[in-house]
Chain A
């Protein structure tokens, strides 16, 4: 008899890392004598920090109602930004030695500068990052920014980052990406061994801990996943598409608490596939290799717009490919309230799913998700997909 995913120590480890993220970072500092830096957006070139012996950890929200950000941050800025800043203002990240943002959206930019001023950190770095990742000059420009950034990190940490350290960091990060892709790969099967909730915990925890440790757990997880016993009805195969999302309550509700069975088989967001899908392809000029990875990765909608050669949205090609490969039957388009980059894509995204013949449901997330209200909407959505099947 195989074990259930929930019983695997590796899965428990992911959950524990998320629950105790702050303790983990504090302990890591004690044990390694290194610095910990917080980042908000996944365009931060983590490899460079790692090569300097700095642990990059992602600042995510707590999904608890708050009101302390209102004097600084506009009401119409996204809840993820409010939630992240609230954590900083409350001192929950007071162990951070520094913070860093690679330019993403405007909302996050203000979080960064307000954090820098009001939450007390020794070191902070705002790196411009090309928005036009689809234009052919973006990598070269980013390379020049990485060079400056690397020098700033060296100065801060008093280290010199050589090719050797960069290679090692690239290898560890690529390994992490590859292992998570392999776990995702298993979700193509008719009976995926993990749910969306499990996958989310895997990816979110990878953003909070040392990748070396995460890799070890992933390696052993991949072995044990062979024997996992799936004792749940898979039901409708769902894909989630959208902005930052680490709301476990929502996933639990959809996958475990519905009258109509459903399982997420793919997550297209920056706490899912967009974070880890693309590798750094080694080349002699290490910074160029890193620059190319961040420019050509599955883009965030904030950076995905046409240039001379690309007239569509590069992200949509990925979504289409994943929807087919993972045999997706329904899509939940989720978006953080007020998130302009995603909102701007949503009408076209709905058209894409219409074209693919995949039913979709649009939901707007806030700091806390109104689970009851969403339950009714998701149930109706799943029911309608079921009915469609009946008449095929």
Chain B
């Protein structure tokens, strides 16, 4: 008889949901009170526009694209609208949902309400690391009738190979971008607000890493489907001090769950990891795994590494360390001016974001993934061969080969994080069932 664990709903759950709902609405209504709107990648240096004032509201494109994808009917309209305008079907799924929304001139709120008129930003602000980011917002700006766009090039390689010249290159661009923002918005920049945001950003990202680490416990206090809702605030606006506060609350609550042996699912008997953004319109995969196999998804290099800050590769580039990266306070650093703030945010992001490390080479991703399997005591990895994102798909097959050689069971299913047309539900269930069967796991409903 499998052990039964106590479960409890998360107390902070509603706060996270509310923040997200408010976020999309705030962006929509920003102009009513003379606020500033900017749009860009969830990987943009979120703390930098914060210096423009306390009424500055971002819209990050990937989570927006995922939100659209979640509402299948609207997503289909958006994807088809983009295709009618000559946008290739194999491009980033988020981007096509985003461009499609602009073309339809419709905006979707977190609860699925569709609003007429896509709210234009005052400017686009992004980073560029995959082949898409800068070109996404450049074209979005054109479709919106000429919105200025600034992209910070972060093509400087992984953290352990950083040097001063590389950091300088990024910091110079950040400095330039402030001047540019002042020009396009006509606002004077406030360094104090920047500093506050830089502290908050590190606080949010490091705290998230600490939360993820707690999932090494048995039973796991959190499961990945809920973590998608929890990590969302990091991709929306991690430099907002209110977001950092919410992560502190979540951290405390998760610690308490661990102390009291509260699980994410009551029948945890199989622990697995995933590796990519999921097909957003089909998150029922996770519930299926729980129900049928008592299988809990502990997280992934995506959920932990997209916006969590981790030590990552050691200095020699030989070992991956899944330990939370230090915040300025933990590192004993005091940030007192613009230059220090920009340097900190540049280096912290470049060095400690797993999502900026492993696209460099599959060697990194192999070490990272294997270490995660060991540290989180996972039984297997279920890999989403994702047609929707060329960056997260990078090296997947090499990683699969490596894990299999290390005796780790790996299942793969092909789909698309943001184009529901690429998801074959029946085939995916089949893949999962045969995989679990091959591991000697029987469906609980058949026992």
Q: Does A114 reach chain B (CB closer than 8 Å)?
A: yes
Shortest distance between the CB of A63 and any CB in chain B (Å) = 21
A151 proximity list for chain B (CB < 8 A): none
Q: Does A156 reach chain B (CB closer than 8 Å)?
A: no
A72 proximity list for chain B (CB < 8 A): 397-398, 401
Q: Does B132 reach chain A (CB closer than 8 Å)?
A: yes
B:138-174 near A, CB below 8 Å: 138-139, 141-142, 148-153, 155-157, 165-166, 168-169, 172-173
Q: Is the CB of B142 within 8 A of A76?
A: no
Q: Is the CB of A106 within 8 A of B172?
A: no
Q: Is the CB of A74 within 8 A of B169?
A: no
Residue of B nearest to A364 (CB): B88
A:128-177 near B, CB below 8 Å: 128-132, 135-138, 140-141, 144
Measured CA separation A353–B359 after assembly (Å): 35
A305 proximity list for chain B (CB < 8 A): 128, 134-135, 138, 149, 151
Q: Is the CB of A110 within 8 A of B362?
A: yes
Stretch at the interface among A28-36, A233-241, A339-347, A371-379: A339-347
Q: Is the CB of B142 within 8 A of A346?
A: no
Q: Does A225 reach chain B (CB closer than 8 Å)?
A: no
Q: Is the CB of B362 within 8 A of A347?
A: no
Q: Say which residue of B138, B172, B395 sits within 8 Å of A113 (CB atoms).
A: B395
Shortest distance between the CB of B360 and any CB in chain A (Å) = 8
Q: Is the CB of A106 within 8 A of B151?
A: no
A311 proximity list for chain B (CB < 8 A): 148-149
Measured CA separation A346–B157 after assembly (Å): 28
Q: Say which residue of A105, A113, A130, A301 sits within 8 Å of B361 (CB atoms).
A: A113
B:298-316 near A, CB below 8 Å: none
B141 proximity list for chain A (CB < 8 A): 306
Q: Does B385 reach chain A (CB closer than 8 Å)?
A: yes
Residue of B nearest to A138 (CB): B153
Q: Does B12 reach chain A (CB closer than 8 Å)?
A: no
A337 proximity list for chain B (CB < 8 A): 90
B142 proximity list for chain A (CB < 8 A): 348
Q: Does A355 reach chain B (CB closer than 8 Å)?
A: no
A308 proximity list for chain B (CB < 8 A): 150, 176-177, 179-180
Q: Is the CB of A144 within 8 A of B165?
A: yes
Measured CA separation A132–B135 after assembly (Å): 11
Residue of B nearest to A105 (CB): B131
B86, B88, B148, B180 — most chain A CB neighbours (10 Å) = B88
Q: Does B394 reach chain A (CB closer than 8 Å)?
A: yes
Q: Does B387 reach chain A (CB closer than 8 Å)?
A: yes
B:98-148 near A, CB below 8 Å: 128, 130-132, 134-136, 138-139, 141-142, 148
A260 proximity list for chain B (CB < 8 A): none
Number of interface residues of B (CB under 8 A): 53
Q: Is the CB of A71 within 8 A of B401?
A: yes
Q: Does A338 reach chain B (CB closer than 8 Å)?
A: yes
Q: Is the CB of B136 within 8 A of A344?
A: yes
Shortest distance between the CB of B171 and any CB in chain A (Å) = 10
Residue of B nearest to A308 (CB): B180
Shortest distance between the CB of A337 and any CB in chain B (Å) = 8
Q: Say which residue of A77, A114, A350 sits within 8 Å of B362 (CB atoms).
A: A114
Q: Is the CB of B166 within 8 A of A141?
A: yes
Q: Does A302 reach chain B (CB closer than 8 Å)?
A: yes
Q: Does A274 reach chain B (CB closer than 8 Å)?
A: no
Q: Say which residue of B85, B131, B176, B359 sits within 8 Å of A341 (CB atoms).
A: B131
Q: Does B391 reach chain A (CB closer than 8 Å)?
A: yes
Q: Say which residue of A141, A343, A345 sits within 8 Å of B169 (CB atoms).
A: A141
Q: Does B363 reach chain A (CB closer than 8 Å)?
A: yes
Q: Is the CB of B359 within 8 A of A106?
A: yes
B:364-408 near A, CB below 8 Å: 385, 387, 390-391, 393-398, 401
Q: Is the CB of A106 within 8 A of B130?
A: yes
A130 proximity list for chain B (CB < 8 A): 153, 155, 169
B91 proximity list for chain A (CB < 8 A): 340, 343-344
Shortest distance between the CB of B387 and any CB in chain A (Å) = 5
Measured CA separation A344–B87 after assembly (Å): 8
Measured CA separation A23–B102 after assembly (Å): 54
B131, B136, B360, B397 — most chain A CB neighbours (10 Å) = B131
B387 proximity list for chain A (CB < 8 A): 76
Shortest distance between the CB of A230 and any CB in chain B (Å) = 36
Q: Does A269 reach chain B (CB closer than 8 Å)?
A: no
Do A340 and B132 contact each other (CB < 8 Å), given the known contacts A110-B362, A128-B155? Answer: yes
Residue of B nearest to A118 (CB): B398
Q: Is the CB of B153 within 8 A of A132?
A: yes
Measured CA separation A126–B85 after assembly (Å): 37
B131 proximity list for chain A (CB < 8 A): 105-106, 302, 340-341, 344
A:217-276 near B, CB below 8 Å: none
Q: Does A187 reach chain B (CB closer than 8 Å)?
A: no
Query: How does the 8 Å CB contact mask read for A110-129 relative to B, with 1 for contact and 0 for none?
Result: 10011001000000001011
Q: Is the CB of B169 within 8 A of A338?
A: no
Q: Is the CB of A132 within 8 A of B134?
A: yes
Q: Does A368 reach chain B (CB closer than 8 Å)?
A: no
Shortest distance between the CB of A308 and any CB in chain B (Å) = 5
A132 proximity list for chain B (CB < 8 A): 128, 134, 151-153, 155, 173
Shortest distance between the CB of B146 and any CB in chain A (Å) = 8
Measured CA separation A141–B152 after assembly (Å): 14
Residue of B nearest to A335 (CB): B88
Q: Does A307 reach chain B (CB closer than 8 Å)?
A: yes
Residue of A nearest to B184 (CB): A308
Query: How does the 8 Å CB contact mask read for B177-221 relative to A, with 1 for contact and 0 for none?
Result: 101100000000000000000000000000000000000000000
B:30-63 near A, CB below 8 Å: none
Do A74 and B397 contact each other (CB < 8 Å), given the known contacts A306-B149, A308-B176? Answer: yes
B157 proximity list for chain A (CB < 8 A): 128
Measured CA separation A338–B149 after assembly (Å): 25
Measured CA separation A106–B92 after assembly (Å): 13
Q: Is the CB of B156 within 8 A of A128?
A: yes
Q: Say which residue of A106, A110, A135, A338 sits within 8 Å of B153 (CB atoms).
A: A135
Shortest distance between the CB of B420 and any CB in chain A (Å) = 17
Measured CA separation A103–B91 after assembly (Å): 20
B166 proximity list for chain A (CB < 8 A): 128, 141, 144
Measured CA separation A74–B169 after assembly (Å): 32
B168 proximity list for chain A (CB < 8 A): 141
Q: Does A286 reach chain B (CB closer than 8 Å)?
A: no
Shortest distance between the CB of B125 and any CB in chain A (Å) = 11
Q: Does A297 reach chain B (CB closer than 8 Å)?
A: no
User: What are 16 A-B interface contacts by the 8 Å CB criterion?
Assistant: A74-B393, A76-B90, A106-B394, A109-B359, A113-B363, A137-B169, A137-B176, A140-B169, A141-B165, A144-B165, A306-B138, A308-B150, A311-B148, A344-B91, A344-B131, A347-B86
What 8 pairs between A and B have smallest CB-CB spacing?
A: A132-B153, A305-B134, A141-B169, A144-B165, A343-B88, A344-B135, A131-B155, A340-B131
A-to-B contact residues, CB < 8 Å: 71-74, 76-77, 103, 105-107, 109-110, 113-114, 117, 126, 128-132, 135-138, 140-141, 144, 301-302, 305-308, 311, 313, 337-338, 340-341, 343-348, 350, 362
B-to-A contact residues, CB < 8 Å: 85-88, 90-92, 128, 130-132, 134-136, 138-139, 141-142, 148-153, 155-157, 165-166, 168-169, 172-173, 176-177, 179-180, 359-363, 385, 387, 390-391, 393-398, 401
List 9 other contacts, CB 8 Å, given A305-B151, A344-B139. Answer: A76-B393, A106-B390, A126-B361, A132-B151, A132-B173, A137-B173, A311-B149, A337-B90, A340-B132
